[in-house]
Amino acid sequence: MDIEALAGGFATTLGIYLAIGVLFAVPFAWKGAAAIDPAAREGTWGFRVLLLPGATLLWPALMLRWFGGRTTPRVESNAHRRAAGGER
């Protein structure tokens, strides 16, 4: 197998993925984070800057969350919550 061609394809894919990520990260830190988590609405500037790397790497998942319309993080389920039932 031609390793150089394979590595070239990987490098290009990586580059495109990260480029989209950077383009996505800025509006996400500015507006998107608050749209999916109310605790981010008044997040500080430092917090928003810290979101950039994560948003760059995870943009596909965040895009689904943001455009999916859910405005709060999910409450984590655990054995007690499941056993109790009646959770909303």
Partner 1 sequence: MSLNYRAVGWNRQKRLYDTALVTGIVLYLAVFIAIGLTTHPEASAEVLMIRGFGSGAFVLLHVILAIGPACRLAPRLLPLLYNRRHMGVAMFSMALVHGALSMLMYHTQGDLNPIVSLFASNTHYDDLMRFPFQTLGFFALVILAFMAATSHDFWLANLSAPTWKALHMLVYVAYAALVMHVALGALQAESSPLLSGFVVVGFAGLAALHLFAGLRETGRRDRSLAAPRDGFVDVIALDELPIDGHGHVACLSGERVAIFRDGDEVFALSNACQHQNGPLGEGRLIGDCVTCPWHGYEYERTTGVSPAPFTESVPTFAVELRDGRVWIDAKPRPARDAHHGGEA
> Contact positions toward partner 1, by CB under 8 A?
3-4, 6-8, 10-11, 14, 33, 36-47, 49-51, 53-54, 56-58, 61, 65, 73-76, 78-81, 83-88
In the complex, what is the shortest distance from the CB of residue 81 to partner 1, in angstroms, rounded to a whole number?
6
Positions of E strands within the chain = none
Tokens 């810290």: give the residue: 50
**CB-based contacts of 73-81 (< 8 A; 24+ apart in sequence):** 73/36, 73/37
In the complex, what is the shortest distance from the CB of residue 38 to partner 1, in angstroms, rounded to a whole number?
6
Q: What gap in Å lies between CA 50 and CA 39, rounded to an integer? A: 15
In the complex, what is the shortest distance from the CB of residue 41 to partner 1, in angstroms, rounded to a whole number?
7
Q: Tokens in use for 34? A: 């608050």
